[in-house]
Amino acid sequence: MTPPAPLLASIYGLYLLAVITPGPNTFIVTRLALSASRRHAARAVLGIALGNTVWLCFVLGGVAVLLQRLPGGMRAVRYVGGLYLLYMGVRGWLAARAASRASAAEPVVAPEKALVERALAGEEARPFRSGLFSSLSNPNTLPFYLSLFAPTVVQGIAPWVRVAAGAGVVTIAMAWYGTLAWGLSTGHVRRAYSRREPLIRRVLALVLVAYGIRLLVTG
């Protein structure tokens, strides 16, 4: 049996490597920090943290194990996550088009201006919910957490070790995404982003669409 300290260190290290790898949560925080404000990105970080907490309760509480044993349970999670990412990607692409048209030289008539404002507002109006849904709908979270925390649910491991492992994971997530939200919302980064906003929005949207398609195909 692995002692608690090395076990927790390995869990924290593996999770840190995973969380710094770009994924849907990273794209959400990046987009809001660059195109909206630090406050919007911070709210998304809180939503992501809550979503991670829910997943941790599932895994450490044993509900995920039951879901894994149900016929088609894991596949359903992947399909739902893939469809949601497709939705986010398509909406982000439309918002990028709206932003590009709004910044064009031609005058924008009132109906088109209203469409632009609604598209951009829909992207940033509910950052906490966006972060929460992004975290909850990521189908890779469940199998990853199952494998990550498997050593903590064996006989001989004290309950406090599981609590410390879960609390540490949430803390690492908030620290990393909070750093992104703070760093990417600074003045010079935002000015550089404003010159390339439509292109960056399209790239992030395409990444989400590609990620969603991959989940649907491999589901």
**Is residue 217 included in any domain, yes or no?**
no
Q: Which domain holds residue 31?
A: 4-212
By the 8 A CB rule, do 170 and 53 touch? yes
**Is residue 198 included in any domain, yes or no?**
yes
More confidently predicted of 154 and 5: 5
pTM of the full predicted structure? 0.65
pLDDT at 108 over 50: no
Average of per-residue pLDDT across 174-188: 86
**Is residue 40 included in any domain, yes or no?**
yes
Predicted confidence at residue 8, as pLDDT, reads 92
**Is residue 219 included in any domain, yes or no?**
no
**Is residue 189 included in any domain, yes or no?**
yes
Structural domains counted in the chain: 1
**Cα dihedral 117/119/124/126 (nearest 10):** 110
pLDDT at 175 over 90: yes
**Is residue 118 included in any domain, yes or no?**
yes
Beta-carbon count within 10 A of 140 CB: 15
**Is residue 138 included in any domain, yes or no?**
yes
Average pLDDT taken over every residue of the chain: 76
Beta strands in 14-157 (DSSP E): none
**Is residue 156 included in any domain, yes or no?**
yes
Q: Which residues of 181-207 are buried (b: 16+ CB within 10 A; e: fewer)?
A: beebbeeeebeebeeebbebbbebbeb
Question: Closest Cα partner for 39 from 184, 181, 197, 192?
Answer: 181
Average of per-residue pLDDT across 27-39: 84
CA gap 212, 214 in Å, rounded:
5
Tokens of residue 68, six digits = 């894994």
Interval 59-88: pLDDT, tens: 887 665 565 566 666 567 667 667 766 877
